[in-house]
Structure 1
Amino acid sequence: MNLFLRRSGRAALGGVVIGAVVLSIAELFAGLLIKMGESKGEPSPVLAVGGAFVDRTPLWLKNFAVDTFGTNDKKALFVGMALVLLGLCCAIGVLLAYRFRLALVALVVLVAVAAAAVLSRPNSGGIDVVPTLLGGFAGLWAMSRWRRRVVDGDDSTLGRPSRRAVLAYGGVTLVGAGLVAAGGRALGNASRRVAEARRAFVVPRVAAPVTAPAGASLGVPGVTPFVVPQKDFYRIDTALVVPQVDPSSWRLKVHGMVEHEIEIDWETLQSKPMREAMVTLMCVSNEVGGNLNGNAIWTGWPVRELLAEARPKPGADMVLSRSTDGFTAGTPLSALTDDRNALLAIGMNREPLTATHGFPVRLVVPGLYGYVSATKWVTDLKVTTYADDMGYWTPRGWSAKGPVKTSSRIDVPGDEDRIPRGAGGVVAVAGVAWAQHRGITGVQVRVNEGDWVDARLGTEANIDAWRQWVYEWHPKPGKYALSVRARDATGAWQTGEIANPDPDGSTGWHMIRVTID
């Protein structure tokens, strides 16, 4: 048994070497394609497979990933992919030592799956699959070399690769790693160009700057800032790697059910009269009490003015926005043409958007969850109907329209905190509440199963921004459950009925448990 394990271990290493060769060559040529501007899709087999997996992720698994890993869901996916790939390579290596033909078939199947994933990505063409095929051919070459020189060579017997041979040909892994680094550098050129363009861009001034009113921030330590810095703003999207969009090549096309098709470039957009809007964005995956939301000051051109130039035809009721990475969102046409501050945003908190948050241009639409409105790296607006088109998440089980629900959150104290009473026996219970495009008019806190008591609200900035709140609590020592609810401008209180995020947003009162010393 020990002899078998030693042989299998050395054989598995051979599979890892072969896998490294395949990926190194594929990623190198993928990087070169991108550098030369020949690729319009996703030529990297690793990213293509990951993207195809995300596109086909069932709703329950998507919810599990977000609930478990939050904004680290993509890192978790890459770790999982690496482990699966490592296991497959090891299996191919073992097959190579004992069943060569099966190993050959397994490698061909894996390359075929990767090629199919590449071709399935948005805007892909035949040239995008070339790096994967070249990687596959390199893998077959490495497999034959390993079989002939290590497994069948003079320094070992069949199925018993020697340690010396394994270490010698294991050096191929280092070569492969070097090629991957070279490919990464080629890919990095796009990132550097975009970073330079972002540094050179100055967010234009507007005629009517927006500021947070006095009293909007209550100054309670630990409460989420009223305006969230860009570096701390949440990120949820389907892009495994942040798209790097060079503003000089950016275009936005408006087409579909319009009287006049329009295409604008970066210079044209910058020439338009910009305005600022303070808007709280919300991810539909946010659990009750979750932090997948944030408030910011956005600078951009109102979408309604662009659509007014295109002149939507009668019967149109939806705009399908598309990102450069293929993501789509279906937004009610009315939400983009009424008087709300729906923007083609180019600035966030008076700074250029980061690539993570959609540089150079993204959509910001008050009152709607991001999955139906907040398209980053936006390049296409199709005026259409809900009967004819669906956004990315709708066929995956989410509702076609996503108005934000009235909700609230306790930021401080934290759940399960053990805290001393403050001066005079006061404990500040505080957080934020939101009901975008309706506004918050009241927040109440309940201790255990007692009566609901009014909290003090921060000053309202506008109906599209959240409000901070605080309740000065005078508890006695003991264990407590604290709950919060909010009321919007229609007079309706946030429901206490518990519902999961899918299909149209979570509901329920946020509750924490604390111990007062």
Structure 2
Amino acid sequence: MQGNELVCEQRQARSTGLQYGVASATGMLLTMIAGRLWVGVLTPIELAAEWLIPKLPIGLFEAGLGMFGGYAKPILYVVALVLTLALGGLIGAGYEAMLRRTLARPEKIAAGFTVVLVLLTGVVYLPAFGQGFFGAAATTGGGTTMAVYAVAYVVFGALLTVHSLLSDARGPLGEHNPSRRRFLRRGLVVGRGVLLLAVGAPIVARLLDSVSMTNLSLAEGMPAAFTPVGTFYNVSKNIVDPRVEAATWKLRVSGLVEEPFELTLDQLRALPSETKPHTLQCISNPVGGNLIGNGEWVGVPLAALLDRAKIRPGVVDIKLTSEDGYTDSIPLVKALESGTLLAYELNGEPLTYKHGAPLRLLVPDIYGMKNAKWITSIEAVAEDFKGYWQRQGWDDVATYQIVSQIRVPAANTALTVGAPLMVEGLAFAGHRGIETVEYTADGGRTWRQADLLPEIGDDCWRFWRASWTPNAAGAVRLSVRATDGAGASQKQAEAPPSPSGATGYHDIVVEVREAGA
């Protein structure tokens, strides 16, 4: 009987420890996430993701996007959170086992766990992911980084101790008392839930607002000439996008220049500005995808800042560094080109953090990945600098492919024989513009020219429309193609977004029925 009681007690101890470990790890994670959202210290999960994602082959990266779409990074984040909670549970089980094997006070064991976690983080984990010993190389600085981690680990240890003291009837609460133990455990569960809800709700709400998610669905319906800020596509390398404090932000212009300098946002906004309509498209946009938008941007020409800095001979690229550690570059000749803008407003409002506030780059003819957001540094370099995505194999030139889309009617729309309708869509080829758009309803045997609507701007998408009357019942495939202003035709051969942008004709299938059917 004593043996059975011992086994039951050990199982109960493991179960109790697991529960307390998971609850304590939840408090630790909430502390780390709060540090990320309000101070900017990357969580251990993000550090691991930052290390892993650039090392993925493009094919595997594309497969992940194909399987999970724009939710790939949030799913990765959730999986990592669950694994962290599981690890916390295992630590809690070990903690409970140590309590039962030794006479040490709970707070002493918890303090030991805390010290070990701090040392492992500072000496092993952070250096392994490029942050230096005790976070010395972190963008937030070693002191701030370690302070956030240390507070999180103290929360973990303190919660373990509180759980143990309140639930252990052999502890300071007096002699063995089963009814008191049950009462305290129930109270602890309720109190823990209330506390986590009160503390965690605002943190989770801000986290959900900050998580970077990309809508990879196919586009339908004609867009407005200027995409509303709230629906303008957003893509980044991050799990959680940075929120930069405009009041303390500075832009540094340096490198191979005669006169390096820094500007605050107010100083930048005081410079002569330009307003321009400009379309952005992500290089990950599939054929017919919606990772494209057009806005009216306000900013300062990049050439003006480079002229002020006085570029030295031998400069090849202008390197851009962002608040989130993202890097990229554009050739010097592109940086000096008319239309290359450092933008701080979109559609009449200051940039939102999702779109790169306080400052992002706009470059004619180049996919969005090189139009860096959250810029903090502009550096003239004497090399062809390869940025974050280029080191993974994505195109370093990244010139826009010619794109055309059918937006109306939507795929699988039911139409009627003999009833005319308007087929509408958009086309885009960067600064090269669009010369013609053609569509076919017979598999490409005949192509009909569509009407182009007036241009919105030199670097903007172009809307088109054509009247079409279906003349026979059945499934009909509508396809579209475009020719740019330089006379180049859109590529018919299908290619995935990686490494140079998707190609192929966009098509939809509609169902044509007899009248009255």
Give the TM-score of the pair, scaled to structure 2. Answer: 0.78
1:127 paired with 2:144, answer yes
In 2, are the aligned partners of 1:28 and 1:182 still within 8 Å (CA)?
Answer: no
Aligned position for 2:21: 15
Cα distance change on mapping 1:310 and 1:67 into 2, 3 Å: farther
- How many pairs were matched up? 469
Given that residues 397 and 503 in structure 1 are in contact (C-alpha distance below 8 angstroms), is that contact kept between their aligned partners in structure 2? Answer: yes
Query: Equivalents in 2 of 1:359, 1:224: separation in Å?
Result: 24
> Deviation digits for residues 170-215 of structure 1, max 9, x if unmatched?
3345445545568789x99xx9xxxxxxxxxxxxxxxxxxxxxxxx
RCO greater where, 1 or 2, for CA within 8 Å and sep 6 or more? 1
For residues 299 and 243 of structure 1, the distance between their equivalents in structure 2, rounded to whole angstroms, comes to: 21
1:52-67 → structure 2 map (5 Å cutoff): 59-60=58-59, 62-67=61-66
**Map of 2:297 onto structure 1:** 298
Partner Cα distance (2:307, 2:167) in 1: 70
Spell out, residue by residue over 1:13-55, the C-alpha distance to the aligned partner (whole angstroms, 9 max, x if none).
22221212323454566778x3xxxxxx516556555655656
Q: Which amino acid aligns with 2:392?
A: R
Q: State the alpha-carbon separation in 2 of the partners of residues 31 and 418 from structure 1.
A: 44
Q: CA deviation digits over 1:45-77, x for unaligned, max 9?
A: 565556556566654454345445555555444
After superposition, the Cα gap between the structure-2 partners of 1:8 and 1:125, relative to the gap in structure 1 and judged at 3 Å, is: closer
Q: Which amino acid aligns with 2:352?
A: T
Amino acid across the alignment from 2:448: V
Which protein shows a greater Rg?
A: 2
- The 2-side partners of 1:236 and 1:70 are apart by 12
Map of 1:83-482 to 2, 5 A cutoff? 83-94=82-93, 112=120, 116=126, 119=135, 121-143=138-160, 146=163, 150=167, 153=170, 164=183, 166-170=185-189, 171-172=191-192, 174-180=194-200, 222-339=221-338, 341-372=339-370, 374-387=371-384, 389-415=385-411, 417-421=412-416, 425-451=419-445, 452-475=447-470, 476-482=472-478
Counterpart CA distance in 2 for 1:466 and 1:297 is 12
Distance (whole Å) between structure 2 residues aligned to residue 55 and residue 344 of structure 1:
26
Alignment partners' CA distance in 2, 1:382 and 1:446: 48
**Displacement after TM superposition at 1:446 (Å):** 2.3
Counterpart of 1:211 in structure 2 is none
1:418, distance to aligned residue in structure 2 (A): 3.0
CA displacement 1:390-412 (0-9 Å, x = unmatched): 21211122122211111111212
User: Deviations along 1:248-296, whole A, 9 cap, x unmatched?
Assistant: 3222111111222122222222222211111111111111111101111
Q: Is the 8 A contact 1:17 1:173 kept in 2?
A: no
* Structure 1 pair 323–16 and aligned structure 2 pair: CA distance change class (3 A): same
Matched AA of 2:333: S
Q: Which amino acid aligns with 2:311?
A: P
Aligned equivalents of 2:62 and 2:175: distance in 1? 51
Distance change >3 Å, CA 184–CA 292, structure 1 → 2: closer
CA contact (8 A) 1:317 1:386 kept: yes
Question: 2 CA distance for matches of 1:236 and 1:182?
Answer: 24
Deviation at 1:448, TM superposition (A): 4.3
Whole-Å separation in 2 of the counterparts to 1:381 and 1:267: 18
Cα RMSD after superposing both structures: 3.8
Structure 1 residues 27, 445: closer, same or farther in 2, change over 3 A?
A: closer
CA distance in 1, matches of 2:64, 2:194: 33
Q: Is the 8 A contact 2:41 2:144 kept in 1?
A: no
Question: What SS does the aligned partner of 1:395 have?
Answer: helix
Deviation of 1:450 (Å):
3.3
What displacement does 1:239 show?
A: 3.6
Q: Determine the C-alpha separation between the residues in 2 that align with 1:256 and 1:460.
A: 39
**Identity %, equivalent residues:** 29
In terms of mean alpha carbon deviation, does 11-20 or 328-337 score higher? 11-20
Query: Does 1:485 pair with 2:477?
Result: no
Q: CA deviation at 1:303?
A: 0.9
Aligned residue among 489, 505, 508 for 1:509 = 505
Q: Secondary structure at the match of 2:258?
A: coil
Partner of 2:305, secondary structure, is: helix
> Structure 2 regions of 5+ residues with no counterpart?
1-7, 102-108, 211-219
Instruction: State the 1:165 CA deviation.
Output: 5.4
> Cα–Cα, structure 1 residues 184 and 90, in superposed 2: closer, same or farther, change >3 Å?
closer
Letter in 1 for 2:21: G
Amino acid at match of 1:428: M
Following the alignment from structure 1 to structure 2, what is the Cα–Cα distance between the partners of residues 367 and 453? 27
CA contact 1:284–1:501 (8 Å) conserved in 2: yes
Q: Distance in 2 between matches of 1:499 and 1:5?
A: 57
Which AA in structure 2 matches 1:264? L
Query: What is aligned with 1:214?
Result: none
Residues 375-429 of structure 1 deviation map (CA, whole Å, 9 limit, x = unaligned): 1221210111444x321211122122211111111212223x132239x611322
| Counterpart secondary structure, 1:437 | helix
